[in-house]
Structure 1
Amino acid sequence: MSFIFFDKLSQDFSELLNDEKEYNVVIEVDKEENMKSFTSHSVVLRYRSTYFTKELENIATNENHVKTIIKPNISAQIFEIILKYIYGGVVNIENIETKFIYELMIVANELEFEELSEKLGSYLIETKASWLRTHFSRIYHSVFDMNLINSTESAQKEVAENSNKRQLDLDESYSDCLHDTIKFQSKKIKTTTNNFNELKGLNRFYNDIITKHPNLIFESEDFTSLQEAALISILENDDLQLEEIKIWDYVVKWGIAQNPTLPKNLEEWSKENFKTLKTTLQQCLQLIRYFHISEKDIWEKLKPYRKILGKQLWDDLNQRLIFPNQPVKSVVLPARINSNLELFQSINEPISTIINEEHVSEISSWIDRKSTIYTLANVPYKLQLILRGSKDGFQPKTFWNMCNGHAGTIVIAKVAGTDEILGGYNPLAWNNSINEDFVETNDSFIFSLKNGNIQNSILSRIEIEEYNCALFYCGPDKQKTCGPCFGNCEFSLESNVSDFTQDKLCECYHPSFYEKAIRSTHEKFSIVDYEVFKIVKK
């Protein structure tokens, strides 16, 4: 048996904070008339925070064997609370205004008190969500800027360490160090863009807002002061709920704002002006989904800036308008998933109009080749809607446009006039530009789900043979009539009138490459609705 006396321990250490007899660290915070000094003990600071461990290693002692840490960016009021947390493990935020709690969280994160910063972040999300939304733009800027500063400081330290190790002459050392700085900064910006997780809970909160309500950041007064890495992070989001042409407009607006000397009138721009804008936006331009912008907007909005797009991309956009079925040389990014979900959507609201949670459990188990079905609590995947026929249309071409580039997807279809729910899983990326061909994979499967009068689900995996024709990509010429096709039409959606709900041309042909048939009849059918989801790890 163990007797635990944390309360007394906390009280004693809190009293130690007020004992100035044996201190060996002075911490100066705030500036000018508000500057205040606190005494502390290096052994306590080092064991409570890796930040202070690193700081104390780099600071020399004075004649009295005392080290001084200077933090002018931290207010005395906030640091006093931090010190009480360091020594006593207690933080009292009762009757404290929300802005102060937010600033306290930022300082806790800077000083690498992860437990405290995460706790405060959770508290703000759970109890002060309206305040966070109201002050969204300013806070998002500060959080991202702080993360970028942290990344920059790490980069500078690593470059300095690498530089110290070199036994080269001054000129060569400077050249190598500068090269490393550029290379490492680029890597750090990418890392910041991808991870952006210094304050995990708060970042998830704001990323969710940006995804579903992007105008909160794009229409904010300080949008053009956004860090480039933050803008890139937003543009990389496949779920961004905004028309692509509007995203283009905002990106151009941001790029022009970074170059205030550019002429106000676009007709007065020189070749060098366009080159300047292109250089500024080079990391952002490659993230625009150009081939999902309407013909009208391409002509009205993109054409005036065609010089920053590059000749190949502009030629391909024009070719797509004239010959829509011909492959292009430029990279074609998939359309964004405009699910139009409301912010803070109820977790009980079904994402699918065709399948339920039990179906998701079953499909997830098949993907992982489990012998038993996942329980609802243990399902490792969630569904991310790419398209829904009743919302996006039933044209085969719509499928190829919206699903292009998406890998790890399931296609779900509800058969007209029956209770049947049919589907297929494709672990590979759909590709709307390759020529007509079969595609090989050992992990695809087709299925029929239990529903209504259908008592049992049927799973049919691809059979691994010499000729593994798991999927059929019909190629640009046939995308007006052919949608997704598994095997030799063992599950396929087709229509000669460009609408899967109208003519009965969808089919589940007798098995050639899959283990078994997923329907008891080979008669062709039409559908009531269909959905395509991306399978995402939780």
Structure 2
Amino acid sequence: MVNNKLLQNLSQNLLKILDDDEYYDITIEVGNDPHVNIFRAHKVILYYRSPYLRSILSTNKKKDDEVLTHIKLPNILPEIFQIILRYIYSGTLSLNLNEYETSDIIKILIAANELNLQELIILLQSFLIEYRSDWIELNLNEVYQTIFENNSFLELQKYCDHLISIRPDNIFKSLGLSSTPEKLLVKLIQNDNLQMSAIHVWEYVVKWGHAQNPELPSDPTNFSKEDFNTLKNSLQRCIPFINFYNLTSEEFSDNVLPYENILPNELYKDILRSYLKPNNQPIKKLEPNIIKGVENVYEINPKNIDSKIITSQHA
């Protein structure tokens, strides 16, 4: 208890140093026009608290004692850097984490990563996983894109992979076409627990490809050779994980055939062969339909090319 009180006093004293307007020896320009702020600070504290700033200060030692050191951090928002700077001096955040919006915590996490503040990175990841899991699930495409840009957020990466493995359907339904990163889409469609028909997966993947290339015509009959190549390049990592053999002949004809030019030749030929084989049976099971006035029950499967035909003899 006494130690906690002493640490609180030390933290408050260091914050007073931050507010000092006389003995600072460095200025930090944060943000981009028109949102730029200049912060005053002390090199010795920055040097020992942030490995990133230490590397900058080591190569920018001032030669003249009358000249202030000036560095720029254009990738960090001024309001986020103010929170970070107070943490650097005091070891605490200006507010309890519960009082921050989740989107702001993500921004603080990204800034902490740029400045290589490992303790803060660990703290923020743990808080997000424990207290903001619902938000993460609803905004997984945004979170996923952020955390997989580098390997600093390993705990969040593991947690997102866990969400994908146990609730892929919920996540799939919440995705935004234009904002979903390719890596996340591929991870979802190759998930064995994804309870979605092959045709719905294919339709979503095609829509996603169009969203990544909004200049493409909406109707594939109007595609040029270059348009097909563009879409093919966007979907090349997704196509191997779509079970085309689970499509009915009608689904294949209506939804896949117009895009045949984006499929690898061998795959396309193999799919065609599978539909042309006698006694071809779909992989997914269908409930049999009962025809009134007929003693036997026949499986009426419009998804099969060679579905059984009821003749007048049967009648």
Task: Say yes or no: TM over 0.5.
Answer: yes
Q: Are the counterparts in 2 of residues 121 and 201 from structure 1 also a CA contact under 8 Å?
A: yes
Take 2:256 and 2:23, find their aligned partners in 1: how far apart are those partners?
Answer: 69
Q: Which residue of structure 1 aligns with residue 73 of structure 2? A: 71
Task: Indicate the residue corresponding to 1:105 in structure 2.
Answer: 109
Could you tell me whether the CA contact under 8 Å between 1:224 and 1:253 is conserved in 2?
no
CA contact (8 A) 2:27 2:70 kept: yes
Counterparts of 1:249-288 in structure 2, within 5 Å, are: 249-288=203-242
Q: Residue by residue, what CA displacement relative to the aligned partner does 1:4-29 show, whole Å, maximum 9, x if unpaired?
A: 96455444433433345554332122
In the alignment, what sits opposite 2:25?
24
Are positions 1:120 and 2:121 aligned together? Answer: no
CA–CA distance in 2 between the matches of 1:32 and 1:271?
Answer: 42
Secondary structure (helix, strand or coil) at the match of 1:283 reads coil
Report the secondary structure of 1:90's partner residue: coil
What amino acid sits opposite 1:107 in the alignment?
A: A
> TM-score, length-normalised on structure 2?
0.70
Superposed, 1:54-453 pairs within 5 Å as 54-57=55-58, 59=60, 61=62, 63=64, 64-94=66-96, 96-99=99-102, 100-134=104-138, 136=139, 140-141=141-142, 144-145=145-146, 147-148=148-149, 197-211=151-165, 212-214=167-169, 216-217=171-172, 220=175, 222-323=176-277
Comparing both structures, which one devotes a greater share of its residues to strand? 1
Quick one: structure 1 residues 284 and 76, their matched pair in 2 at CA, closer, same or farther if it must change by over 3 Å?
same
| Contact 1:49/1:111 (<8 A) preserved | yes
Give 2:114's aligned amino acid: E
Q: CA deviation at 1:263?
A: 2.4
CA displacement at 1:313 relative to structure 2: 0.7
Matched length: 276
User: How far apart, CA to CA, are the structure 1 residues paired with 2:48 and 2:129?
Assistant: 29
Segments ≥4 residues shifted beyond 6 Å: none
Cα distance in 2 between the residues matched to 1:73 and 1:244: 42
- Indicate how the Cα distance of structure 1 residues 30 and 262 shifts in structure 2: closer, same or farther if over 3 A, else same: closer
For residue 235 of structure 1, report the CA deviation from its aligned partner.
4.2
User: Which residue identity lines up with residue 47 of structure 1 in the other structure?
Assistant: Y
Q: In structure 2, what residue type is equivalent to 1:108?
A: A
Q: Are the counterparts in 1 of residues 83 and 93 from structure 2 also a CA contact under 8 Å?
A: yes
Q: Deviations over 1:426-481 (max 9, x none)?
A: xxxxxxxxxxxxxxxxxxxxxxxxxxxxxxxxxxxxxxxxxxxxxxxxxxxxxxxx
**Aligned residue type for 1:89:** G
The question of whether the paired residues in 2 share the 8 Å contact of 1:29 and 1:36 is answered with yes
Are the aligned partners of 2:172 and 2:188 in contact in 1 as well (CA < 8 Å)? no
Deviation, 1:62, is 7.5
Letter in 1 for 2:105: I
Matched to 1:82, the amino acid is I
Give the deviation of 1:295 after TM superposition: 4.9
Matched, 1:42 2:43: yes
**Given the superposition, is the C-alpha separation of residues 111 and 62 from structure 1 closer, same or farther in structure 2, using an over 3 Å criterion?**
same
Select the structure that is richer in helix: 2
Query: Are the equivalent residues in 2 in contact too, given 1:93–1:101 (CA < 8 A)?
Result: no
Write the deviation string for residues 404-438 of structure 1: whole angstroms up to 9, x where unpaired: xxxxxxxxxxxxxxxxxxxxxxxxxxxxxxxxxxx
Identity, % of aligned positions: 33
Q: Is the 8 A contact 2:86 2:94 kept in 1?
A: no
Give, in angstroms, the shift of residue 38 of structure 1.
1.9
What 5-or-longer segments of structure 1 have no aligned partner? 152-196, 327-334, 336-391, 394-538
Unaligned runs of 5+ in 2: 286-315
Q: Secondary structure at the match of 1:38?
A: strand
State the secondary structure of the residue aligned to 1:45.
helix
Say if 1:52 and 1:292 are closer, same or farther in 2 by CA, change over 3 A.
farther
Equivalent residue letter for 1:110: E
Distance 1:18 1:268, change over 3 A: closer
In structure 2, the CA distance between the partners of 1:247 and 1:61, relative to structure 1 (3 Å rule), is farther
Distance 1:55 1:232 in 2: 39
Contact 1:29-1:72 within 8 A present in 2 as well: yes
Change in Cα spacing, 1:324 to 1:17, as seen in structure 2 (3 Å) is farther
AA partner of residue 80 (structure 2): I
TM-score under structure 1 length normalisation: 0.44
Q: Write the distance in 1 (CA, Å) between the matches of 2:42 and 2:70.
A: 11
Q: What do residues 47-69 of structure 1 show as CA deviations (whole Å, max 9, x unaligned)? A: 32222233334557485453322
Partner of 1:344: none
Once the 2 structures are TM-superposed, how far is the Cα of residue 250 of structure 1 from its aligned partner?
Answer: 1.7
